[in-house]
Amino acid sequence: MTENETIKELRKEVKRLKSENESLWFMLDELKKSNIANHQSLIKNAIEKQVKQIKEKRVKMPKTVGKA
């Protein structure tokens, strides 16, 4: 293999490794985004909102009285 061929092969390998590196960083970012712990505050607020709505509905609903 000549020196120019070696350089050409090494450049191709560097290009492949850079592409693989970018893909891995992208995958890592996606994993971080999908981690539920990163969305804990959002989930907590949504649950609290639902609980509040349920409590408000319970207050508005007439209570059923047993048969006399």
Q: Domain residue spans in the chain?
A: 3-57
SS (H, E, C) the chain: CCHHHHHHHHHHHHHHHHHHHHHHHHHHHHHHHHCHHHHHHHHHHHHHHHHHHHHHHHHHCCCCCCCC
pLDDT digits (tens, 9 = 90+) for 18-35: 999 999 999 999 998 888
pLDDT of residue 61: 66
For the segment 52-60, the average pLDDT, to the nearest whole number, is 83
pLDDT (mean) for 4-9: 96
Q: What was the pLDDT predicted at 15?
A: 96
The Cα 13–Cα 20 span in angstroms is 10
Q: For the chain, give the mean pLDDT.
A: 88
pLDDT for 57: 82
pLDDT, position 68: 63
